[in-house]
């Protein structure tokens, strides 16, 4: 279905189903897509934001990723690190000094299969996304990010609740039930009084217990979203056309995968490239 509709990845349906449930993109004209490659979420934002444009107003979408990404019409692309102040400054410059209405992040690490490790790395990536979001999001704006639901996730919810009074964990139907993946939907950005965004320090390194010995953890609502009568992401379906009368024809991906930069670095390491460079010095 993603190929037939022209999406770069199946993940486009996840953002669309979250938006159907929470109506996040209504009236939005400035958006930031973090960890954007290959660009399916940027495609969804581009389609929705163009519909929101008023006369004399132009929607702007800034997509950020360490990897290169094939161009998308109406999307400004930045190849940069979301943990750097310079990246936040670049994003704001494209909005003429204003702030974004929404920040989304579908980034995830290459999973190892060790769930505790994967959950920890994903939590750190989410906090990095939250940190840059505090630099570029306007008060009242929304933040959506991928999250791995593990046993210690309530502490992460507590950190998000510091900045967003309304936090919900959502599971789109297009996300496999067998996966611990979910999406955290944070609404009405309200930073603490006198809070100054800072890239130099980890964001709110909270202890699991308060000073009085009570638990410093939060339970947030969980919502399953998407059409329950639609396709099941855990099922395999026969390759048939919508009418069922025509023979299925293979459709190539809209964008082929791009080799991750770290893979070439690992190959150079195996061949002794970095050792040779150090020896020359």
List the structure tokens of 142: 């929304």
Q: Could you tell me if 33 and 45 are in contact, meaning their C-beta atoms sit under 8 angstroms apart?
A: yes
The active-site residue out of 14, 60, 146, 171 is 146
146 in catalytic set: yes
Shortest CA distance to 11 belongs to which of 89, 105, 90? 105
Q: Is 81 a known ligand-binding residue?
A: yes
Q: Is 78 helix (H, G, I), strand (E, B) or coil?
A: strand
Question: Do the annotations mark residue 194 as ligand-binding?
Answer: no
Edge to edge, the sheet with strand 60-65 lists: 75-79, 60-65, 30-34, 100-105, 137-148, 181-187, 166-172, 222-225
Q: Would the annotation count 74 as a binding residue?
A: no
Task: Say whether 205 counts as a known binding-site residue.
Answer: no
d(C-alpha 268, C-alpha 93), whole Å: 36
C-alpha pair distances (Å), 257 with each of 9, 39, 151: 10, 11, 32
By annotation, the residues acting in catalysis are 146
Annotated binding-site positions: 39, 41, 65, 81, 106
Annotated binding-site positions for S-adenosyl-L-methionine: 39, 41, 65, 81, 106
């Amino acid at each position: 279905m993603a190929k037939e509709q022209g999406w770069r990845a199946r993940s486009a349906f996840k953002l669309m189903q979250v938006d159907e449930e929470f109506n996040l993109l209504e009236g939005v004209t400035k958006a930031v897509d973090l960890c954007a490659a290959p660009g399916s979420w940027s495609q969804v934002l581009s389609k929705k934001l163009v519909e929101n444009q008023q006369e004399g107003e132009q929607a702007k979408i800034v997509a950020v990723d360490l990897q290169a990404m094939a161009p998308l019409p109406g999307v400004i692309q930045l190849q940069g690190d979301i943990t750097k102040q310079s990246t936040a400054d670049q994003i704001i410059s494209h909005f003429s000094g204003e702030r974004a209405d929404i920040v989304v992040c579908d980034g995830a690490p290459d999973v190892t299969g060790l769930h505790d490790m994967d959950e920890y790395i994903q939590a750190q990536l989410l906090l990095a996304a939250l940190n840059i979001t505090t630099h570029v999001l306007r008060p009242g704006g929304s933040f959506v990010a991928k999250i791995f639901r593990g046993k210690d996730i309530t502490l992460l919810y507590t950190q998000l609740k510091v900045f967003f009074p309304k936090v919900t964990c959502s599971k789109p139907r297009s996300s496999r039930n067998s996966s611990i993946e979910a999406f955290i939907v944070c609404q009405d950005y309200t930073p603490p009084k006198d809070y100054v965004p800072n890239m130099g320090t980890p964001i709110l390194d909270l202890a699991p217990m308060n000073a009085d010995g009570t638990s410093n953890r939060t339970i947030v609502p969980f919502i399953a979203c998407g059409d329950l009568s639609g396709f099941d992401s855990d099922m395999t379906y026969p390759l048939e056309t919508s009418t069922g009368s025509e023979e299925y024809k293979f459709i190539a991906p809209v964008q082929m995968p791009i080799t991750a930069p770290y893979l070439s670095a690992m190959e150079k390491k195996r061949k002794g490239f970095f050792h040779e460079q150090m020896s020359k010095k």
